[in-house]
Amino acid sequence: MGRSLIKFSSQDCGICHKMSFYDQKVSEELGLQFVDVKMQDTATYRKYRKILLSQYPDKAEMGWPTYLICDSPEGEFQILGEVKGGHPKGEFRSKLQAVLASSN
């Protein structure tokens, strides 16, 4: 798996739910593999927890949702940047593009 967008969210977060109508589509349009990690899904969360904790050791600064743009999440991952919180579709795309542009 190459470059991915990992979404950390919660099932009872309204903004996370609203973002889910377009976040995966936007990330795939930008060539990112989309990974949806709900905190309640312990198996998936355990798999990606080390990535989240490397950015937010105590989860205090996390947004809902938090999107981490990441190289090789399955291996020696590298976090390229992040987008936190809810954004309209166009703004979400711009924020992702800005992270991708600065990491090339």
> What is the tally of structural domains in the chain?
1
Q: Are 102 and 41 in contact (CB under 8 A)?
A: no
Q: What range defines the domain where residue 36 resides? A: 3-102
Q: What's the angle, vertex CA 11, arms to CA 55 and CA 83, rounded to 5?
A: 35
Cis peptide before 88 (omega within 30 of 0): no
pLDDT tens, residue by residue, 24-36:
999 999 999 999 9
Percent of the chain with pLDDT over 90: 90
The two tokens of residue 13 are: 């977060």
pLDDT at 24: 98
CATH number of the structural domain spanning residue 91: 3.40.30.10
pLDDT at 15: 96
Task: Tell whether the model's pLDDT for residue 48 goes beyond 80.
Answer: yes
- pTM above the 0.85 mark? yes
Q: Using pLDDT thresholds of 50, 70 and 90, give the confidence band for residue 2.
A: confident
3-state secondary structure 20-67: CCCHHHHHHHCCCEEEEEECCCHHHHHHHHHHHHHHCCCCCCCCCCEE
